[in-house]
Amino acid sequence: MVTKIDNQKSSIATATEKSSKRTTIRKKLSMKDVAEAAGVSQPTVSFAYNRPGRISESQRRHVLETAERIGYPGPNALGKSLRSGKVGAIGLMMMDRLSLAFDDPSMIALLKGIGHSGLFEETALTLFPLNHLLTASGLPGGTDSLAVRGLADGLIITTLPNGHPIITQVQEREIPFVIVDAPKIPNSSFVGIDDYEAARTQMRHLLDLGHRRIGVLVDRLNPDGQTGPVSRQRFEAATEALMSERLRGYVEAAADAGISYNDLKIYEAGGLGTTAGQAAAFSLLNSEKITGIVATSDVMALGCLRVARDFSLNIPQDLSVVGFDDIPEAVSAGLTTIQQPMVEKGVIAAQFLRQIMDGKHPSGVKLVKIFQTHLILRSSTRHI
């Protein structure tokens, strides 16, 4: 005798079997099945997915609607990438942990610029942080990055240390790339500013205001986490090209005014975030009697303003501060700073990369864009 429960089990089993069969059928559907159902040729179905410009919009819509009706999920992405040699993704390669991409104003602006270019709307953007490719000393030493394993059709590379071995890997594998800010690679496309001259402008501003006891806050000179006063030896051995160029601008502008390297109070934060900036500013202000500070980023400068308040220092009566970047927070803080077009860097980098990937510029000719910078005067500096 068959019980009610047995009937339920049988019904469930039958439904499961039917569902399984439908799933199996769906997995086996091909473009040929879509072509037959739509009453078109198989190449027409292929064009609908891969080269829509070859058929009319109404024909493409008919093919896609038919595919959806019969349950065809579309061409296999992996198979398509293997056939075309493309993966449909570009990469942003940076020398830091992934979280920095969402915290650092410069990185956020760069990402925004890439998006605003509108050139990769149907392309994935993958972030490739390289902070894990370091030796025990904290210096670049590895090349085990997914970016050179065929997971990106092109790369935008930003602020890598000089001599990072990943660059050689990218070049050897002939992956299209554009450098933003650093490092500067011979015969490679580049987007950036004249960091040396911009830094000289920062320092000259304080000198013109009469400051002679000047401190310098630098993010980092090597990716090894070291903090503290910067010796001449460490300065000359710096691998972070961006910071090295800015510090060189400070040192040489000060030297023109008769201020030696040892007379400057240079302090390295060892990182790029707000916490590192505040810690460096605290150490600098706690140990030195200075009237003005130049910082290699607005993040460092804003950290200095916060710490100055803790020291009961009035800005700018007791301390003048000059930043670098002109991020949105600099406006509300009244920070005198160097303005650079950070979003526009991303736009141009995307344009360059698109041209290189599409083969629309002469082989062997590098694309270069150097933006102008401007000193923006606000309330954080004054004559002494």
Mean pLDDT of 165-193: 92
Cβ atoms of 361 and 372 within 8 Å: the answer is no
- Residue pair 133/124 in contact (Cβ under 8 Å)? The answer is no
Contact 217, 293 (CB under 8 A): yes
Instruction: Report whether pLDDT(31) > 50.
Output: yes
**% residues pLDDT > 70 (the chain):** 85
- Domains of the chain plus CATH, in order, are 18-75 (1.10.260.40), 87-384 (3.40.50.2300)
The residue written with tokens 């000259």 in the block is 204
| pLDDT single digits (tens) 281-306 | 999 999 889 999 999 999 999 999 99
Nearest CA-CA partner of 316 in 210, 200, 199, 198: 210
Q: How far apart are CA 213 and CA 292, in angstroms?
A: 7
Q: Tens of pLDDT along 85-105?
A: 577 899 999 988 888 788 899
